[in-house]
Structure 1
Amino acid sequence: MIPAPPVPAALRGYVVARIPYDVDFGAPGMHRGLPSTTITLVLPLDDPLRVSWAGRPASLHSAWASLSGLHTEPAAIHHDGSQRGVQVALTVEGVRVLLGRPAADLSGALTDLDEAVVPQALRDLPERLHALASWPARVALVDRTLAGLAARGGDPAPRAEVAHALALLTSGNRVAEVAEEVGYSRRRLGTLVRAECGLAPKAFQRVARLETARGLLGHRPLAEVADACGYADQAHLTREWTALAGCTPTTWLREEFPFVQDRDDDGGAGLQA
């Protein structure tokens, strides 16, 4: 990945990251897109992004700006051996403020900016991005565009108790504990969370836990990752990864980092440069 400056203060809370990327895979293939707690906007530079839901070739979508909502299954990102562009990770609140709609509208969808109901400034971004020659200029354009949308203000932020519930679920709190904390029944909490992000609280929590585990894989043995992330045991971690990512943690590591080698007999793995 290419270094990028920190997210500007005006965008914090709305944008988790803007990631410029220039990747040489060596040969055509497919990259696995895992579920996460953020909404993904990808702005490719060389060719339209071709993405589908894993195992569902009929869902293949090609676009110069790919927007995907929260989901509980892996995406298949097809490439010809290399990819360049900018990827933006938006929070649930960021979708409301920047795109002017709740994240639930995008849940489980693979769409482009021409198909989605989004501000014109965002629709114009891919063409403007292609006219620039340097990575700093591209990131700066993305930042200016999003900051302009933030200043304009789209839909109001999610109600405070729902935003608090999502933060608690992201941190690994149990659904019953979150409902008690925000003062709702589990049923009412489920209705509000689903209306905001498109996932039920339990599904959102599972995705958040997967996201946390993803950051630890390759650095610690799988049993330690399972314990740190709140899985019952390593077998539970593996079942959840297979259900949400479409593969085991070890398989994902070998796909993402071909230099991964087994470190121990209990499934732990380490990265070697």
Structure 2
Amino acid sequence: MTIAEPLPTVPEALRPWIAEVRTMSFSEPPEGTFVQLPDAVIKVVLRVTGEGRRDVLAVGPRVRAAYHEGKAHIECVELRLAPGTARPLLGVAAAGLVGRVVPLDDLPGGAARRFAREMRWLDPREALPRVAEVLPELLAEPADPARTALLRAAVEALSLRMDRAPAQVRDVARELAVSERQLRNLFTDGVGVSPKHYARIDRVRALAARAGSAGWSELAAATGYFDQSHMTTDFRALMGVPPRSFLTGRLPAVSPCQAVRGG
């Protein structure tokens, strides 16, 4: 199985907007299946193929895993947007991008189209310095800093960390002095999925990353599940196979990568 690796740091100038940067480069097809885990993050991706095709794409939240054959002669840089960045940069609510892959310059935001023009001809391996120059010029501040700060505090509280299990949605709403309905609305606009679904995806991603590092019952407890049966049900629903099958490489059939328009 092959999964993209994050870079160790994000430049200071990008941290209000970019949570993480990942790069991939394959001169030959990667061994095994290329796994796209469920992901509650919106990404901007510059993809360059060996034939010279260049795409700058907005990739929306993915609520279930996808499995593909690896491709040769492809380079990508993936900018994982911070919560609340979709509307000011892309011109759409995050919920409008769930399950979609869209050319960046097809989106309504003027900033998105300008960003696409800036990124298109960059070398993916050396794109970050130019992105760090351009993005702060396009987006000086979030449209509503208080709302964005509230959303990011909620995302942080619901995210799994090595030293703690994620909080419950009702407790996060109470701590932030908002109703659960207000919290759902914040997530719909700024993340794309509900708080409960965000936490569910985050737990399954953590399980996929830690599979094999401890016993299943221990991992279930560490990631906030009631028991191993609850963990297995959730994992199978999002990943398409139970945890043991994933760990041993017994994966669902591969499918083609999602096609996009544009050239």
Q: Deviations over 1:68-110 (max 9, x none)?
A: 2223222455543453211121121333454354423323322
Match status 1:193 vs 2:196: no
2:133 aligns to what? 144
Identity among equivalent positions (%) equals 27
> Is the CA contact (8 Å cut-off) linking 1:98 and 1:154 kept in structure 2?
no
Question: Which ranges of structure 1 fall in alignment gaps of 5 or more residues?
Answer: 49-61, 257-273
The aligned amino acid for 1:243 is A
Q: Secondary structure of the residue that 2:153 maps to in structure 1? A: helix
Question: Which ranges of structure 2 fall in alignment gaps of 5 or more residues?
Answer: 161-165, 251-263
Match status 1:25 vs 2:29: yes
Q: Distance in 2 between matches of 1:228 and 1:112?
A: 39
Greater share of strand residues, 1 or 2? 1
Match status 1:252 vs 2:246: yes
Match of 1:178 among 172, 175, 192: 172
1:42 aligns to what? 45
Match status 1:234 vs 2:223: no
1:57 aligns to what? none
Q: Deviations over 1:17-59 (max 9, x none)?
A: 22221134357x85231222321222111169xxxxxxxxxxx
2:158 aligns to what? 169
The aligned amino acid for 1:70 is P
Match status 1:115 vs 2:140: no
Distance verdict in 2 for CA 1:216–1:6, change over 3 Å:
same
2:117 aligns to what? 124
- The TM-score normalised by the length of structure 1 is 0.72
Distance verdict in 2 for CA 1:253–1:65, change over 3 Å:
farther
1:103 aligns to what? 94
Q: Distance in 2 between matches of 1:143 and 1:221?
A: 42
Match of 1:86 among 69, 73, 77: 77
1:220 aligns to what? 214
Offset of residue 173 of structure 1: 0.9
> Is the CA contact (8 Å cut-off) linking 1:93 and 1:157 kept in structure 2?
no
Q: Distance in 1 between matches of 2:227 and 2:70?
A: 35
Q: Distance in 1 between matches of 2:139 and 2:80?
A: 15
Higher relative contact order (CA 8 A, sep 6+): 2
Q: Secondary structure of the residue that 2:127 maps to in structure 1? A: helix
Deviates more, 1:2-11 or 1:116-125: 2-11
> Is the CA contact (8 Å cut-off) linking 1:93 and 1:158 kept in structure 2?
no
Distance verdict in 2 for CA 1:207–1:127, change over 3 Å:
same
> Is the CA contact (8 Å cut-off) linking 2:36 and 2:65 kept in structure 1?
yes
The alignment of Structure 1 onto Structure 2 pairs a total of residues equal to: 238
Distance verdict in 2 for CA 1:205–1:145, change over 3 Å:
same
Offset of residue 176 of structure 1: 1.5
Match of 1:6 among 4, 9, 15: 9
Q: Secondary structure of the residue that 2:232 maps to in structure 1? A: helix
Q: Secondary structure of the residue that 1:219 maps to in structure 2? A: coil
Match of 2:65 among 71, 74, 77: 74
Tell me how large the CA RMSD over aligned residues is: 3.2
